[in-house]
Amino acid sequence: MIINKLLSSFDNYLPLNEAEREDLAGRVIERKIKRRQFILQENDVCKHYTFVAEGCFKKFQVDDKGTEHNLQFAAEGDWLMEIDSFYFDKPSRVYIEAIEPSVIFQINKPNLFYLFTNNPKFDRNFRVIVENRFVELENRVLQAISSTAEERYLAFIKQYPHLLSRLPNTQIASYLGITPEFLSKVRKDLSRK
């Protein structure tokens, strides 16, 4: 059963007992998402934490010139959310779009808060999930301000090795803050080393 992908993902943190697994399973909704379908759009309020059971998503912002800037990728086993929008009911500044046909599980704020209140293990597990995302973001900011394009690409390979063959060069280049042409040059230079 696909729900087991969600339930077993907590084994990486504080594993859930059978009652906790049942409680969580009863509070999430399963959705099948088509390629290029949005689960969040700019100016909408983020109403769910989303777990990716199958497929791949990108989280991005579009600037005034219409250029996409990829902030994050999420594939099997990853969580997606726009925290500022979710917790403070603010309009989202980002889009979350499926790159591939996907299956997700979503939990809304009332159900998430119920789990936090009624079982400290969920509070701890979700705090670790958010802390991990925060660490990724800090690393990303540090790379953006102090690393070369080659170093950023190597860090991308290390962070997302399972996505290299699944993402078009344009998406990777957007994430790295370079053009697809420059990404090709970086790859070519690395192949010579």
- pLDDT score, position 30: 98
Angle (CA) 65 164 77, round 5°: 95
- pLDDT score, position 18: 96
Per-residue confidence band for 153, with pLDDT thresholds at 50, 70 and 90: very high
**One domain, residues 107 and 167:** no
pLDDT tops 90 at residue 193 = no
Contact residues for 108 (Cβ-Cβ < 8 A; gap 6+):
47, 48
Distance, CA of 165 to CA of 136 (rounded, Å)? 21
Distance, CA of 100 to CA of 55 (rounded, Å)? 5
**What rounded mean pLDDT belongs to the chain?**
95
**One domain, residues 61 and 115:** yes
Per-residue confidence band for 55, with pLDDT thresholds at 50, 70 and 90: very high
pLDDT tops 90 at residue 192 = no
Average pLDDT over residues 61-81: 94
Between 27-31, 82-86, 158-162, the lowest mean confidence (pLDDT) is in 158-162
Helix (H, G, I), strand (E, B) or coil at 126: helix
Per-residue confidence band for 61, with pLDDT thresholds at 50, 70 and 90: very high
Distance, CA of 192 to CA of 109 (rounded, Å)? 50
- pLDDT score, position 1: 86
- pLDDT score, position 81: 95
Q: Which pair of tokens denotes residue 100?
A: 């591939």
Distance, CA of 135 to CA of 146 (rounded, Å)? 16
- pLDDT score, position 83: 94
**One domain, residues 82 and 157:** no
Check which CATH number belongs to the domain holding 125 and give it. 2.60.120.10
**One domain, residues 7 and 56:** yes
Helix (H, G, I), strand (E, B) or coil at 156: helix
Residues spanned by the domain of 128: 3-146
Q: Tens digit of pLDDT for each residue in 16-27? A: 999 999 999 999
Domain count, the chain: 2
**One domain, residues 74 and 156:** no
- Rounded alpha-carbon distances, angstroms, from residue 170 to 49, 77, 180: 27, 24, 5
**One domain, residues 168 and 141:** no
Distance, CA of 112 to CA of 110 (rounded, Å)? 6
Identify which of 68, 69, 62, 87 has the alpha carbon closest to the alpha carbon of residue 144: 69
Ramachandran class of 166: left when φ > 0, alpha when ψ lies in -120 to 50, beta otherwise: alpha
**One domain, residues 73 and 12:** yes
